[in-house]
Amino acid sequence: MSCDVVIRKAKADDADDILRLIRELAIYEKAEHEVLATKETIIASLFSNEATAKTIICENGQGRIIGYAIYFYNYSTWLAKKGLYLEDLYVAESERGSGVGKKLLTHLAKIAVSEGCGRFEWSVLNWNAPAIAFYESLGAKPQSEWTVYRLTGEALQKLGS
């Protein structure tokens, strides 16, 4: 039950569980083949002195990690304020509908407010109707006037060389 959960900052010791949940998320998003992360890269990218992203996790009453959120700060030139960007939010399938996702988002919203952020943003796959309905139930609005672009692989290397 969601009343028994604890949300806390992740530690390097949580890397195996974070990776497990990242893989579960990738399976859910039909992109398991795209996961290149390892325990070592999770530790280096989230828990080193150079880490630019942060992670919170949700544990059930038995101490099992059942959800996580990875976030970082971006910047709004129009607001002249930082924003909080949610990179990943995932709740184990067995725990969905129990309030865990809302608790994770509420925790992040509190961080955004306490840090003086002007906005709290994330992306969702357009086919993920349950997530879209959940986010809209919280008052989030789609930014349909924006299209996301991404450079990766060879295109990134070509432009960056």
Catalytic, 135? Answer: yes
Specify the DSSP class assigned to residue 97.
T
Catalytic, out of 71, 73, 135, 149: 135
In order, the DSSP letters of 103-156 are HHHHHHHHHHHHTT-S-EEE---TT-HHHHHHHHHTT----TT-------HHHH
Burial class (CB in 10 A: 0-12, 13-18, 19+), 14: buried
Q: Are 70 and 88 in contact (CB under 8 A)?
A: yes
**Catalytic residue IDs:** 135
